[in-house]
Each structure stands twice: as C-alpha cells, then as structure tokens.
Amino acid sequence: MDTPLVSIIIPAKNAESTIRKCLNSILRVDYHSYELIVIDDGSTDNTSKILSEYKDIKTITTGGIGPSKARNTAAKEAKGEYLAFTDADCVVDVNWLNELLSGFKIFPDAAACGGRQELPQDASDFEKNVFIFMKKTGFITEYMRKTDENATIEVNHNPSCNAIYSKSVFLRENGFLENLWPGEDVELDYRLRKKRYKLVFNPKAIVFHYRPKNMSEFSKMMFRYGKAQGFLVKKYGIFRMIHFAPLVLLSWVSLNIFGILTYPYMAKIVFFFLTIIFLLSLIIITRAFIFKKKNIVLSVIFFIYSLANWNIGFVRGIAIKKYILIK
C-alpha cells in the first residue's frame, strides 16, 4: 500500500481542556499524507479561540448538531481515501495512523479498522479508576477490548474514538445515524456487519483517552450509554452481550419477588442464589481496581452507580418513540 490520503475528523464541543493536547499529538504522527478536519460544534468556551491558533487545520463551525451529524458533515467534505475518527478528549500515539492503516494491509477487504484505548499520563485518580473499571468490564461491552496479543483480528465493533473507515464504504452506507450519541458507532458497525463488511482491530493503534473526572460525570455517561443501547434494542432487537444485562437483572428481581409472595422455601432458595450472584458480581467489579482495601468501597460504589444509571437509561431508551440527542 502506498501512502493514501487520510482525512482525520474530530468533533469538538467545549473541549478547551483537551483539544490542544489532541491536535498537537496528531501533528506529531509519523504519517504525513493527511488532512485534519475539526468540527467546532457549538462551543461556548475557548475551544474556538484555540482552534484559530492552528492555521493548517480545516475547521467547520456549527450551532450544535451533535457528534454523529458533525462527523457525517465532515466526511462529505473530506478529500481522503480513508476517514480516521478520534475524539477531542483523546491524544493519539505517534504511530496511530500507520497502525490503523496496517489493518487494511493485513485484511485488504476490510471496511474499517480500530485500535486500543489507554489512559493519558496526566489523568486524575478518578479517571484512572473509571478507566480500569471500563477495561475490566470490556468483555461485555466491547468498548475497550482486552488482548494479550499484538495480532490484528476481526471484530464486530470499534469505538469511534479510535477507528478508520474506507470513505467509499462509509458514505455508501450513510455514515453514522444522526442524533444518536453515544452508540452511533455501535449502530454503524452493526449495519456494516449485517451486510458482510469486515471490521478489524489492531491493538498497536493507540489513543490515550481522558475519562469522566467525577461521579456526576460518570453517572451521566452511564445513563447516556444505557439510553443509546435501549434505543438500539428497540430498533434492531438484542444483538450484543450487554443487551442481556437488563433482562438478567429483571429476572433476578422477578424471581425474588415471586418467591417471597408464594412459598417461603422458594424465597429462601432464590435469595440464596441471588446473594451468591451478587457477591460474585462484587468480586468481579472489585477486580477492576488495584487490590487495596480503600478501593473496595469505591468498587462497590462504581458498580451500583453504573448498574443503576445504565439500566435507567436503557429503560428510557426502550420507552422513547424518537431518539433525542442528549447534548
């Protein structure tokens, strides 16, 4: 493969704390055949001012159309053969583009390639906890994929914070579902896989992704994730492992209530199994943190907050008639 032109697309809204780090990291990548397009999506902080400092960056200014439509808008104006997506709160590795493109060398018929997420060195302690939590639970979400190998593999989904698509495929399949965020990448990859397109993952393509900085931000993030997945289940049915979580939780609650309202003996059996499952769940979630006593309580708090907010969001997503973007 030669050095095809790559269009790097970044939606940004009120990203003054990270956008400069993001752009500087891209300007240092060991790949020079690219154009950089940033969508200033209705920012009210200093994001616009920071972007004006970079003369070689194409900036598209909108009034706040959401990340999905912003990416689609940029994709239609992009000149590259490939569309590389990352977020304004990400810092990319110097070999990021080379490694993403290598997925197409290994799998010439691939439509897209994604990569690994790590944590920036200057992340806060809370961000580190969120990162480890999400990494340990990645087996069920596919948001952060755990791999002990450096091999490029075929997958069903890559998050849009670290992914590259063939522009021809992306435009032909109408890009991201506009107004849906987050989950727009899940929806697009689901449609691509349904049409037999091949998606691959290269763990050597790395972005360093900042995370929520406090419990309030984390709770809102989990609610948004749940709402998007509830909407997708309503639209397409169950097609991911994470979609079974609300059904399992509802079954546990229903069985417990049924047992209590019918036979005391059954109630005891159900309560026993629910207790075992609950304890096992806490052990698994506790493993998401460094094995220190002070983190056990934090682990349980994260577990409760994520479970509650995600499922509340999921129910909300199932119930709504039309998905309304949460800005």
CATH code for residues 6-213: 3.90.550.10
pLDDT class for 230, splitting at 50, 70, 90? confident
CA distance 34 to 57: 11
Residue 299: the pLDDT is 63
Evaluate whether 208 touches 120 at the Cβ level (below 8 Å): yes
Residue 314: which pLDDT band, with cuts at 50, 70 and 90? confident
Specify which residues 262 forms β-bridges with. Answer: none
pLDDT recorded at residue 8: 98
Q: How confident is the model at residue 133, as a pLDDT?
A: 73
Q: Specify the pLDDT at position 236.
A: 81
**Once rounded to an integer, what is the mean pLDDT over residues 155-170?**
95
Hey, CA dihedral for 182, 4, 108, 100, is it positive or negative? negative
Q: What is the pLDDT of residues 184-198, one digit of tens each?
A: 999 999 999 999 999
Per-domain boundaries in the chain: 6-213, 232-319
pLDDT range class, residue 327, cuts 50, 70, 90: very low
pLDDT band at 78 (very low <50, low <70, confident <90, very high): very high
User: Which pLDDT score is estimated for 309?
Assistant: 78
Question: Is the pLDDT at 81 greater than 70, yes or no?
Answer: yes
Q: Give me the percent of the chain exceeding a pLDDT of 70.
A: 73
pTM: 0.80
Three-state helix/strand/coil letters over the chain: CCCCCEEEEEEECCCCCCHHHHHHHHHCCCCCCEEEEEEEECCCCCHHHHHCCCCCCEEEEECCCCHHHHHHHHHHHCCCCEEEEECCCEEECCCHHHHHHHHHHHCCCEEEEEEEEECCCCCCHHHHHHHHHHHHCHHHHCCCCCCCCCCCEEECCCCCCEEEEEHHHHHHCCCCCCCCCCCHHHHHHHHHHHCCCEEEEEEEEEEEECCCCCHHHHHHHHHHHHHHHHHHHHHHCCCCHHHHHHHHHHHHHHHHHHHHHCCHHHHHHHHHHHHHHHHHHHHHHHCCCCCCHHHHHHHHHHHHHHHHHHHHHHHHHHHCCCCCCCC
pLDDT tens digit sequence for 234-287: 888 775 656 555 555 555 555 555 555 555 666 666 666 666 666 566 555 555
Confidence of residue 326 (pLDDT cuts 50, 70, 90): very low
